[in-house]
Amino acid sequence: MVDFPPRRKPSRKGSMADVPKDLLDQIKELERLFSVDQAKLKEVTEHFVKELEKGLSVEGGSIPMNLTWVMGYPDGYETGTFLALDMGGTNLRVCEIVLPEEKGEFEIIQSKYRMPDELKAGDSEELWEYIADCLQQFIEYHHEVEDLEQMDSKLPLGFTFSFPATQDYIDHGVLQRWTKGFDISGVEGKDVAPLFEAALEKRKLPVRLSALINDTTGTLIASHYTDDTMQIGCIFGTGCNAAYMENCGSVPKIAHYKLPPDMPIAINCEYGAFDNELVVLPRTPFDVIIDNDSPRPGQQAFEKMIAGLYLGELFRLVLVDLHDNKCGLFDGQDISKLRRAYSLDASFLSFIEEDPFENLSETGELFARELSLNASKPELELCRRLAELIGTRAARLSACGVAAICKKKNIESCHVGADGSVFNKYPHFKARGAQALREILDWPEGKRDPVSIRAAEDGSGVGAALIAALTIKRVKAGNLAGIKNTEGMI
């Protein structure tokens, strides 16, 4: 048997030699619109630092800088069995996590349930009923009990509620606004904990809500559990966000609690709302359209430029504009499928960027299959360049938030735990973000990056369980700051 060396992947360097001048002119204009140079990155970051500070002040700002009442990191010796519920933009996930006596270890079983689109704009009660139903199915399946009321004790649950919420207590949270395509009436401005607990009680489920958390805070805690150099948790997915550990003495808006100034408290930034005032963000006309046509115009300005929910729509809007107004892209063809809002997602761009062939044959097949369009080679070259520009801009702007936290906290070296579909799956996102960090923070060439963004641990599952464990540990120690219902915790 002949032992062949590993097969090389097809390489694609790309060529614009056969692209007509009108398309080349459009590509140059798109490069002008979507490129973000070093000077702009630094300008955005400096403003970001000021806005983070403003969010911690009594007056507040566009970035909420929400208190989480997670008062410190796990030490790795937390033990017990916990449930975690993860309500994100696409799926509902239920987990059972066992924290054994071995430091930094965990065991997990989990099930996923589709979040039906009709629930995202439906009735509040229907949402909580559906979540409770999924939880009941999970417990009945994994615990093999016929009567849930006969279980020995209530299982502590960490609920990952990945939407902006104000928390006066770790086991409660008032929804500030829906994001990620949700728009359920009657929930904004209300505490979601009793709404959820009522659905649990209705089914007599043996579950006790111990902590309501955000997925980004969970990412921070879970990542630090296995790597104590992790100081920032980030999400780059359907939305974008970051969390980090602040000192209570640096948070003026909680001064009235009279907490020890050096006591740590995790801050859930919710910085998708950065620069809603549009002071520094380099928006294009297409970003303006996305904002104006969104359910919440004027909100989440930063998120709408970098999050996975919007990358495909940006791409689609540009192509429609080029067809209608500029260079007759896909001239003479029916682009009705392309005209459907949000018909393309980030995976469409990802597929284009991953096409390894010189003639972009896979991209051509994608356009034929999904959009019934027969794209010429020059048109495919433009589409490829546009996907690169949109993906690169998202990665580079994403780095500004990380750099701003590092500057604010004077962090010179750390690991950043990142999660989310864009970070994990979008080609070159990590490398492009790392390059932007180098440019913003002026690191010398040729040396290892002192701040490194790495794949996070499971924040919404393991992180939620750890935060539930930390909350119970605090109750046992008598540190009750930010905990409302201690009954039944220990």
Q: Write out the catalytic residue numbers.
A: 162, 177, 215
> In the structure encoding, which two tokens stand for residue 324, read together?
């209608």
Angle between helices 21-34 and 377-409 (to 10 degrees): 10
How far apart, in whole angstroms, are the C-alpha atoms of residue 188 and residue 315?
A: 31
How far apart, in whole angstroms, are the C-alpha atoms of residue 139 and residue 125?
A: 21
Q: Tell me the one-letter amino acid at 477.
A: A
Contact 235, 250 (CB under 8 A): no
Instruction: For residue 87, give the H/E element and its range.
Output: strand 80-87
Q: Tell me the one-letter amino acid at 105.
A: E
State phi, psi for 153 to the nearest 5 degrees: -150, 165
> In the structure encoding, which two tokens stand for residue 317, read together?
């809007």
Residues, the chain = 490
How far apart, in whole angstroms, are the C-alpha atoms of residue 171 and residue 220?
A: 18
Contact 143, 155 (CB under 8 A): no
Contact 303, 287 (CB under 8 A): no
Between strands 240-247 and 230-236, the pairing is antiparallel
- 3-class DSSP state of 271: helix
For 25, 48, 55, 246, 253, the CA distances from 250, given in Å and listed in that order, are 50, 17, 11, 7, 9
For 16, 37, 122, 368, 376, the CA distances from 362, given in Å and listed in that order, are 18, 31, 39, 10, 13
For 224, 337, 373, 442, the CA distances from 369, given in Å and listed in that order, are 44, 11, 8, 45
Residue 246's DSSP bridge partners are 265
Residues 6 or more apart whose Cβ sits within 8 Å of residue 269: 52, 55, 63, 64, 65, 66, 216, 241, 242, 243, 244, 401, 405
